[in-house]
């Protein structure tokens, strides 16, 4: 199993052999557990590529770049984060980091003797020196570098329980060519080979999957690339990332204790037992994707303007095909409902769309956010109230994901080959608690036509969307029956709330009927949410790509990293 798997004795032995600069006697001290990023209604912390210095925005924590030249400043930022009651995290890329510098950082206590604090999250991002991202040689060297970081934290006096991951490094095994529905290590969304595999994940000994969820990336199938079952681009931009996150979470749940909400060990012996998924996310990033490159924007090598021809697609086929701000917020909640522990933001990816707005949309999608009257495209009161209702379910000790399927029953059918969410552009996720007797479902339809969606059973209980005037429900095999399905309008998102109740159920057979008492999920409320989608006509772009832009941001070391991040199979 992946993760920091060393016992205290093993760490002491490894200390003497591999990293002599660390202090063996200090290993007898109890190491602090990682800071919580997600816990019920009140704990929600996110990372961001651009948040490198304090003060950090609301709900975000700084993750400065750690290398030989920045250790002192990184320590300062970590101490400020701890003083502000925020989590601690860093980024590590190709800039040199020695064992002595790593020891100075990972052995440091940023808290007090009574309440020690260390580096909780390490987001690695190693790239090769040439333009071919993740070639065989580069991949092997990247895994070796990540493994070294893990070893340094394993033997440290403070950080041996932290989380370490690498961009796009996940425990997936195959590219899906059938109807595996995101299960058993198959990625159902990918074009081209996997960047990394389960073998790489295990060899690196990481315990955090940093999945790449970039709508517009050339490593996702889409209508624009001719290998997507739905006729419009927008469905691929939305369903694709959900499919990849789901496949990764299924793998974590199966082999890495991903269902456990704890950030502690099973035995208290040193490492986080439960692997987490913290994906890199953005609203759009089409770097390297020639099929979504149909206009010119200064300083950008690729740009996509809805309403203009793109490849074989006409102007009418590309109109309103970018994800709007509401769509991005909906994606964030789908990610959470399907197991994401937090998210790490990259560039906004849309002309005129600011990082502040992007952060607002993450807050709105994840936990309801705060109303922002000055931003007409910000959070709305209905969405906020509906999502806050879900938070109470997340806080329950028995809360669970209602589904992980990518092949739901839409308009009366699922598929025996392929996945129905791709075919229909419609997908649902949910969270429920039997103790609270609450089930909340987020259903999204990114298609251009309306769809009926049927939820079937959640746990052991059937889901009903209607009862008759006598307060009874009826069991009917008609998939279009209004009491078993919900209408999701074209391009819309609905948050549907159910209660677990006992009702009379009428079952009919051969025109005769009988009643029985059944416990079912029965509709309580049905809200239209995340309606701020005027941005579907905006221009999508990748990250900054000029030396001038990066130098202005004070990040010359980032040039190799993000210019090529999405340059996978085109």
Co-location of 320 and 248 in the same domain: yes
Query: What pLDDT score does 505 carry?
Result: 76
Q: Is residue 391 one of the residues assigned to a domain?
A: no
How confident is the model over 177-196, as pLDDT tens digits?
666 666 678 999 999 889 89
Beta-strand (E) ranges in 195-320? 208-209, 212-213, 276-277, 280-281
Task: Say how many CA atoms lie within 13 Å of 313 toward its Cβ.
Answer: 26
Query: What pLDDT score does 481 carry?
Result: 61
Mean pLDDT computed over 266-290: 80
Mean pLDDT computed over 517-529: 94
Cross-strand partners of 457: 462
Query: What pLDDT score does 185 carry?
Result: 87
Co-location of 346 and 362 in the same domain: yes
**SS3 state of residue 306:** coil
Residue 127 CB neighbours (<10 A)? 21
Beta-strand (E) ranges in 355-450? 400-401, 409-410, 426-433, 438-445
Q: Evaluate whether 400 touches 365 at the Cβ level (below 8 Å).
A: no
Query: How far, in Å, are 361, 370, 463, 481 from residue 508 at the CA level?
Result: 47, 48, 18, 14
Q: Is residue 274 one of the residues assigned to a domain?
A: yes
Co-location of 473 and 509 in the same domain: yes
Q: Evaluate whether 565 touches 287 at the Cβ level (below 8 Å).
A: yes
Q: Which residues contact 1 (CB under 8 A, 6 or more apart)?
A: 202, 255, 256
Quote the pTM value: 0.89
As a whole number of angstroms, the distance between CA 187 and CA 207 comes to 19
Q: Which helix (H) or strand (E) holds 565?
A: none
Co-location of 220 and 366 in the same domain: yes
Whether 142 has a pLDDT exceeding 50, the answer reads yes
Q: Which helix (H) or strand (E) holds 184?
A: none
As a whole number of angstroms, the distance between CA 304 and CA 320 comes to 11
Co-location of 527 and 542 in the same domain: no
Query: What pLDDT score does 28 carry?
Result: 36
Q: Which of 130-144, 167-181, 430-444 has the highest mean pLDDT?
A: 430-444
Query: What pLDDT score does 374 carry?
Result: 59
Q: Evaluate whether 179 touches 407 at the Cβ level (below 8 Å).
A: yes
DSSP tag of 394: H
Query: What pLDDT score does 6 carry?
Result: 38
Whether 551 has a pLDDT exceeding 50, the answer reads no
Mean pLDDT computed over 125-134: 59
**Residue 260: is it exposed, middle or buried by C-beta count within 10 angstroms (0-12/13-18/19+)?**
middle
Q: Which domain holds residue 289?
A: 8-380+536-563
What's the distance, CA 127 to chain centroid? Answer: 22
Given strand 344-345, what is the order of strands in its sheet? 47-48, 344-345, 280-281, 212-213
How confident is the model over 387-424, as pLDDT tens digits?
999 999 999 999 999 999 999 999 999 998 889 999 99
Co-location of 452 and 512 in the same domain: yes
Query: What pLDDT score does 537 carry?
Result: 97
Q: Is residue 255 one of the residues assigned to a domain?
A: yes
Mean pLDDT computed over 304-332: 96
Number of domains in the chain: 2
Co-location of 166 and 58 in the same domain: yes
Co-location of 82 and 100 in the same domain: yes
**SS3 state of residue 558:** helix
Co-location of 363 and 248 in the same domain: yes
Co-location of 354 and 423 in the same domain: no
Whether 9 has a pLDDT exceeding 70, the answer reads no
Whether 94 has a pLDDT exceeding 50, the answer reads yes
Q: Is residue 393 one of the residues assigned to a domain?
A: no
Band (467; pLDDT cuts 50, 70, 90): confident
Please give the share of the chain, as a percent, with pLDDT higher than 90: 68
Average predicted confidence (pLDDT) for the chain: 85
Q: Is residue 388 one of the residues assigned to a domain?
A: no
Q: Which of 30-44, 439-453, 553-567 has the highest mean pLDDT?
A: 439-453
Please give the share of the chain, as a percent, with pLDDT higher than 70: 81
As a whole number of angstroms, the distance between CA 39 and CA 338 comes to 15
Residue 354 CB neighbours (<10 A)? 10
Q: Is residue 43 one of the residues assigned to a domain?
A: yes
Co-location of 527 and 549 in the same domain: no
How confident is the model over 20-34, as pLDDT tens digits?
334 333 333 457 889
Q: Is residue 241 one of the residues assigned to a domain?
A: yes
**SS3 state of residue 381:** helix
As a whole number of angstroms, the distance between CA 52 and CA 65 comes to 7
Band (297; pLDDT cuts 50, 70, 90): very high
Q: Is residue 396 one of the residues assigned to a domain?
A: no
Co-location of 408 and 371 in the same domain: no
DSSP string, 350-397: BTT--HHHHHHHHHHHHH-----TT-TTS--HHHHHHHHHHHHHHTST
Pairing, β 485-488 against β 451-454: antiparallel
Band (39; pLDDT cuts 50, 70, 90): confident
How confident is the model over 220-237, as pLDDT tens digits?
999 999 999 999 999 999
Q: Which residues of 363-387 are buried (b: 16+ CB within 10 A; e: fewer)?
A: bbbbbbbeebeeeebbbbeebbebb
């Amino acid at each position: 199993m992946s993760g920091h798997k060393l016992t205290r004795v093993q760490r002491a032995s490894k200390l003497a052999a591999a990293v002599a600069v660390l202090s063996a006697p200090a290993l007898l001290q109890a190491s602090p557990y990682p800071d919580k990023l997600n816990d019920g209604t009140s704990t929600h912390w996110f990372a961001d590529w651009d948040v490198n210095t304090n003060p950090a925005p609301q709900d975000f924590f700084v993750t400065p770049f750690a290398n030989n030249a920045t250790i002192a400043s990184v320590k300062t930022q970590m101490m400020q984060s701890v003083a502000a009651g925020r989590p601690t995290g860093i980024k590590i890329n190709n800039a040199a980091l020695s064992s002595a510098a790593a020891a100075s950082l990972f052995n440091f206590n940023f808290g007090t003797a009574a309440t020690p604090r260390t580096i909780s999250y390490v987001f690695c991002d190693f790239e090769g020196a040439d333009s071919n991202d993740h070639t065989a040689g580069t991949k092997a060297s990247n895994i070796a570098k990540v493994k070294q970081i893990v070893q340094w934290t394993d033997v440290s006096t403070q950080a041996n329980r932290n989380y370490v991951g690498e961009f796009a490094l996940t425990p997936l095994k195959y590219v899906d060519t059938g109807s595996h529905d995101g299960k058993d290590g198959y990625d159902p969304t990918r074009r081209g080979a996997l960047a990394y595999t389960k073998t790489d994940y295990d060899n690196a000994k990481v315990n955090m999957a940093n999945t790449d969820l970039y709508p517009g990336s050339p490593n996702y199938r889409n209508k624009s690339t001719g290998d997507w079952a739905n006729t419009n681009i927008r469905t691929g931009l939305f369903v694709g990332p959900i499919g990849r996150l789901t496949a990764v979470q299924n793998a974590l749940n199966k082999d890495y204790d991903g269902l456990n909400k704890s950030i502690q060990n099973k035995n208290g012996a040193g490492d986080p037992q439960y692997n987490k998924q913290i994906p890199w996310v953005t609203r759009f990033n089409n770097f390297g994707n020639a099929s979504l490159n149909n206009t010119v924007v200064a300083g950008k090598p690729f740009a996509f303007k809805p309403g203009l021809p793109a490849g074989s697609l006409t102007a009418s086929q590309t109109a309103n095909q970018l994800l709007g701000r509401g769509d991005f917020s909906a994606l964030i909640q789908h990610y959470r409902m399907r197991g994401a522990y937090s998210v790490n933001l990259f560039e906004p990816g849309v002309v005129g769309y600011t990082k502040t707005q992007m952060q607002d949309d993450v807050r709105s999608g994840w936990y309801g956010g705060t109303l922002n009257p000055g931003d007409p495209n910000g959070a709305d009161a209905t969405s906020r109230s509906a999502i806050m209702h879900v938070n109470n379910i997340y806080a329950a000790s028995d809360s669970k994901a209602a589904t992980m399927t990518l092949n739901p029953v839409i308009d009366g059918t699922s598929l025996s080959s392929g996945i129905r969410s791709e075919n229909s552009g419609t997908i649902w996720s949910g969270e429920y608690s039997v103790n609270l007797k609450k089930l909340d479902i987020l259903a999204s339809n990114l298609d251009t036509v309306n769809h009926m969606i049927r939820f079937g059973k959640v746990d052991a209980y059937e889901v009903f969307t209607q009862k008759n005037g006598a307060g009874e429900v009826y069991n009917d095999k008609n998939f279009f029956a209004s009491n078993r399905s919900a209408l999701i309008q074209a391009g819309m998102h609905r948050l549907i709330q159910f209660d677990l109740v006992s009702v009379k159920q009428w079952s009919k057979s051969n025109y005769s009927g009988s009643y029985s008492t059944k416990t079912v999920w029965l509709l309580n409320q049905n809200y239209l949410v995340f309606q701020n989608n005027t941005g579907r006509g905006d221009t999508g772009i990748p990250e900054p790509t000029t030396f001038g832009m990066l130098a202005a941001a004070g990040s010359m070391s980032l040039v190799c990293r993000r210019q090529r991040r999405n340059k996978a199979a085109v």
